[in-house]
């Protein structure tokens, strides 16, 4: 393992608690909107499928995320575990954001993750759909950053 690939516990194979910890850590990192920080959870050669983009490696991941958060303003994300086995975790998620015109969206999706032995994600496949919503329909209203522990998750919100 190189100095650029520091182990990220919990390590596979995952049990339910370890998988939940991995999911919350990913949610917290993405809610930071710090592309460099987020990229550290992925192997140096990590491969993604995100909508119609296919970033590969940390440098492309950082560029992708920087572009994403320049376009998706006031981003707030909730992830929830769907299934897990050995080195893989499936999650469902929703996030809210608005564009430069002020139009709000709720984006829904699923991700399939595969991890290396060191706990870094080597593969991420995301399928995402966007729904235009009004400002009044927003459900994710916590201050920028980590979702508070007492904020409802997707199931509690009926999503």
Report DSSP letters for 89-128, one per residue. Answer: EEEEEEEEEE-TT--EEEEEEEEEEEE-TTS-EEEEEEEE
Mean pLDDT of the chain: 97
Collapsing DSSP states into helix, strand and coil, what is residue 59? helix
- The string of pLDDT tens digits covering residues 121-159 is 999 999 999 999 999 999 999 999 999 999 999 999 999
What separation in angstroms does the CA of 38 have from each of 6, 86, 134, 154, 158?
14, 23, 29, 22, 28
- The string of pLDDT tens digits covering residues 100-110 is 999 999 999 99
Q: For residue 73, what is the DSSP state?
A: E
> Is the pLDDT score of 1 beyond 90?
no
Domains and CATH numbers, the chain: 16-137 (3.10.450.50)
The structure's pTM equals 0.96
């Amino acid at each position: 393992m190189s100095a650029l690939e520091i182990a990220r516990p919990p390590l596979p194979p995952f049990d339910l608690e370890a998988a939940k910890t991995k999911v919350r850590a990913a949610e917290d990192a993405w809610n930071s909107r710090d592309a460099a920080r987020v990229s550290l959870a992925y192997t140096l050669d990590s491969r993604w499928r995100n909508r119609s983009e296919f970033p590969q490696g940390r440098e492309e991941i950082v560029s992708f995320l920087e572009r994403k958060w320049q376009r998706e303003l006031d981003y707030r994300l909730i992830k929830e575990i769907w299934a897990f086995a050995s080195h893989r975790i499936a999650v469902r998620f929703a996030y809210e954001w608005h564009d430069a015109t002020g139009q709000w969206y709720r984006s829904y999706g699923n991700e399939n993750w595969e991890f290396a032995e060191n706990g870094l994600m080597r593969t991420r496949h995301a399928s995402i759909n966007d729904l235009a919503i009004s400002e009044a329909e927003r459900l994710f209203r916590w201050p920028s950053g980590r979702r508070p522990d007492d904020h409802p998750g997707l199931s509690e919100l009926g999503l």
